[in-house]
């Protein structure tokens, strides 16, 4: 009897934990929140290896240039999905995106300008320029996240 009770308790706890782990799904037409989240993840997948290369002192100019070009190709992906009616779960954006659209646009433009500068630095193949430009992109991301992304 106690083994059956223990099994049932274990089973119910497992089901409850798994149910709580599920991420809220974007069920709205066109799934704008999901699309922008995927687009941001693609940016991160491109940007993070660049930082790893610089931090590990394994800078390879040609490879970095290819990654910088890929970052530029992906950087515009999320922005079109920040429509007026897209502030709903599973968004990780704060309400400030919609309350302060001018400030959000300013941060977006700073990110775009920083990625442009990163590409120019990568084309120069000068590691010092690349590191400075990489840091500027990183800072642009952090600045926007402070105000416009949930922590």
Q: Is residue 16 part of a domain?
A: no
Q: Is residue 19 part of a domain?
A: no
Which two structure tokens, joined as six digits, stand for 22? 């599920």
Please tell me the total count of domains within the chain: 1
Q: Is residue 1 part of a domain?
A: no
Range(s) of the domain holding residue 101: 27-148
Q: How far is CA 71 from the centre of its chain?
A: 12
Q: Is residue 112 part of a domain?
A: yes
| pLDDT by 10s per residue, the chain, length 151 | 566 544 454 444 444 444 445 678 998 899 999 999 999 999 999 999 999 999 999 999 999 999 999 999 999 999 999 999 999 999 999 999 999 999 999 999 999 999 999 999 999 999 999 999 999 999 999 999 999 999 8
Q: Is residue 12 part of a domain?
A: no
Q: Quick one: pLDDT at residue 103?
A: 98
Q: Is residue 15 part of a domain?
A: no
The answer to whether residues 33 and 81 touch, using CB atoms and an 8 Å cutoff, is yes
The label of the residue with tokens 């059956």 reads 4
Q: Quick one: pLDDT at residue 21?
A: 55
Distances (CA, A) of 135 to 40, 43, 77, 129, 138: 18, 15, 21, 10, 5
H/E segment holding residue 35: helix 32-55
Q: Compute the distance between CA of residue 118 and CA of residue 139 in angstroms, rounded to an integer.
A: 12
Q: Compute the distance between CA of residue 44 and CA of residue 67 in angstroms, rounded to an integer.
A: 11
Domain of 107, CATH number, reads: 1.20.120.10
Q: Quick one: pLDDT at residue 5?
A: 46
Q: Which of 75, 54, 77 is nearest to 64 (CA)?
A: 54
Residue 83, by phi and psi: left (phi above 0), alpha (psi -120 to 50) or beta? beta
Q: Is residue 85 part of a domain?
A: yes
Q: Is residue 110 part of a domain?
A: yes
């Amino acid at each position: 009897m106690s083994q059956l009770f223990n099994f049932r308790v274990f089973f119910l706890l497992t089901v409850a934990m798994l149910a709580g782990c599920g991420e809220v799904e974007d069920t709205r037409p066109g799934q704008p929140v999901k699309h922008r989240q995927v687009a941001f993840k693609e940016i991160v997948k491109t940007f993070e290896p660049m930082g790893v290369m610089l931090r590990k002192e394994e800078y390879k100019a040609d490879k970095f240039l290819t990654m910088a070009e890929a970052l530029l190709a992906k950087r515009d992906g999320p922005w079109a999905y920040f429509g007026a009616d897209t502030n709903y779960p599973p968004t990780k954006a704060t309400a400030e995106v919609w309350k302060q659209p001018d400030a959000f646009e300013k941060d977006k433009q700073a990110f775009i300008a920083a990625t442009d500068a990163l590409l120019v630095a990568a084309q120069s193949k000068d590691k010092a320029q690349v590191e400075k430009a990489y840091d500027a992109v990183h800072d642009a991301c952090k600045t926007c996240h402070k105000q416009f992304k949930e922590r």
